[in-house]
Amino acid sequence: MNSDANLAQAAQQMQETFAQGLQQMMGAMAGAGLGAAPGFPQLAMPAIPAAAPPLQLDPAKLIEIQQSYLKDIATLWNSGLQSGTAVSVPSDRRFADEAWRSNPVAQFAASAYLLNARTLMGLAEAVEGDEKTKARVRFAVEQALAATAPSNFLALNAEAQKKAIETQGESIAQGLTNLLHDMKQGHVSMTDESIFEVGKNVATTEGAVVFENEFFQLLEYKPLTAKVHERPFLLVPPCINKFYILDLQPENSLIRYAVAQGHRTFVVSWRNPDESMSGKTWDDYIEQAAIKAINVVQEITGAKTINALGFCVGGTILATALAVLAARGEKPVASATFLTSLLDFSDTGILDIFIDEQSVKFREMQMGNGGLLKGQDLASTFSFLRPNDLVWNYVVGNYLKGETPPPFDLLYWNSDSTNLPGPFYAWYLRNTYFENNLAKPGKLTVCGQKVDLGKLDMPTYIYGSREDHIVPVGGAYASTQVLPGKKRFVMGASGHIAGVINPPAKKKRSYWTNDKLPQGKFPASQGDWLKGATEHPGSWWTDWSNWLESHAGKQIAAPKTYGSRKYKAIEPAPGRYVKARA
């Protein structure tokens, strides 16, 4: 009885200590910025409100965690600092190098860290409360654990110490040089950015700018076939990134692939907003960009209808624009493709932890009437969703080991951030992520029209990536429940970018389709859809290409010049707008 009472008392003390420490940690993260160094951007981490009730942990799980911890810590201490004792989790690549096993102090530090990490994550899982609170607790603990790993500190990183000795201190000197360089540029280097130049070795598909206004440039690409489909094809990429993720290299360019399939292809290249655009709104982007681009493509080609694709936020913008046009009695798009896009924001995954009334009101007060959301702040937040892979991995390599990260076009693009106008961003936060108004028929008025996605009855191709942490596959699938027309849903392997950029020539990954749906009726959940799905090896691009061809019309002679009499070529692709840095 006495031992049980002591254990219960110790468990209660552990609960109080964990809860207090966690609340302080989350508050500090919100106020000071996670992982921020002088000159570096900060992460907007949601804090637990001051008036929130204390965190409570499941008593049974708490005692179980404590008993397991006491047993494991005793085993670790008894092993002492003996050389040759295996690190607790050898598969953790942060401690995989032989230097960790051959250094008793480093080995013990890694083992103790991994034990404490397992225990803290166990405590996070034991928190009682609603799913959002639990998700925030898990996120906060994960961030703290990622930041405090012994591999992040030169005094504990045996691998970095070994390299410093082998290079006679040159790695440390180079690490300091790298740190000063990154502080000056405002972000941690993920690749050797000096290797790449937009228009020279990324975004190289041949074309021309045929229209521009203060929001975007419209690019038209040179045909690669003698004939093209009569119905032109317009791509609307996300405005929170630059379009050339769709045109990195010739061998993995979705844009070039579309051109090679015989589509007369146009792409929206968003302007990187500066102070002159600080008052622009969601309505502005819909009317002056998405709708304008559709109209200009129609005018240039003479086509009554076009095919369109929206990627990520570009899909949300495209769907909104089509709903506005439908309310006006116009249906200029014959088919629409939505790649990893959210139309119904019921499932937003990990990003949901950042969104509540308090955070939305703060952004509305801060920039709802004017201002800019700096691109690097947004990029930093996305990076910290995968802190070990996209932050601390480079901190260790760049600064502790003095390494230069290898050239990688995708990571160069990832570092080429874009700003957002404050009013646009504040509207987007409240009406999509927070209140999910876009999915509610008639709830929103955009460009003077009541928005109803139920009026978008054109055929649609909806794609979601299985491991997407930005747009969960269930969130992408939810569009099947909103859009009334004939639909095809395809799930690809991998994540938000790697799943989309998966050219057929690589013969990598796989994708899933379900052609067994009765009368094309989609079940309510993506999980139910998957039960009847079939996996296919390789890229989903071929499936999409076959689908798009069926909506592209007959073949006609390819144009010999860019644009038209009214819309003449302004400059070669990729144009000026994409080259502007945030």
β pairing state of 333-339 and 207-212: unpaired
Q: How far is the C-alpha of 122 from the C-alpha of 15, rounded, in Å?
A: 12
Q: How far is the C-alpha of 435 from the C-alpha of 430, rounded, in Å?
A: 6
Cβ atoms of residues 450 and 442 within 8 Å: yes
Tokens of 295: 């109209």
Which among 48, 562, 28 has a CA at the least distance from the CA of 267? 562
> Residue 419: which residues within 8 A CB-CB, separation 6 or more?
272, 273, 274, 372, 373, 374, 375, 582
Element (H, E) at 333: strand 333-339
Our CA dihedral for 39, 40, 45, 49, rounded to 10 degrees, sits at -10
Q: How far is the C-alpha of 201 from the C-alpha of 248, rounded, in Å?
A: 8
Q: How far is the C-alpha of 522 from the C-alpha of 514, rounded, in Å?
A: 10
End-to-end alpha carbon distance in the chain: 65
Which among 550, 553, 565, 567 has a CA at the least distance from the CA of 303? 553
Which among 249, 250, 224, 246 has a CA at the least distance from the CA of 234? 246
Greatest alpha-carbon span in the chain: 92
Q: Is 139 left (phi over 0), alpha (psi -120 to 50) or beta?
A: alpha
Output the CA–CA distances (angstroms, integers) from residue 338 to 83, 114, 301, 311, 476, in the order listed. Answer: 55, 41, 23, 6, 8
Query: Cα-flanking dihedrals φ and ψ of residue 159, to 5°?
Result: -65, -45
Output the CA–CA distances (angstroms, integers) from residue 65 to 15, 17, 58, 69, in the order listed. Answer: 11, 14, 10, 6
Tokens of 390: 């996209």
Neighbours of 437 (CB within 10 A): 14
Tokens of 496: 């938000």
Name the active-site residue from 312, 391, 473, 482: 312
Residue 574, preceding peptide bond in cis (omega within 30° of 0):
yes
Question: How many Cα atoms are found within 13 Å in the side-chain-facing hemisphere of 353?
Answer: 25
DSSP letters along 71-91, please?
A: HHHHHHHHHTT-TTPPPS-TT
Q: How far is the C-alpha of 98 from the C-alpha of 540, rounded, in Å?
A: 40
Q: How far is the C-alpha of 312 from the C-alpha of 465, rounded, in Å?
A: 11
Cβ atoms of residues 522 and 481 within 8 Å: yes
**Strand spans (E) along 131-264:** 207-212, 216-221, 227-229, 233-236
Tokens of 216: 């975007």
Give yes or no: 239 in active site.
Answer: no
Give, as one character, the DSSP assignment of residue 239. T
Question: Which residues are known to be catalytic?
Answer: 312
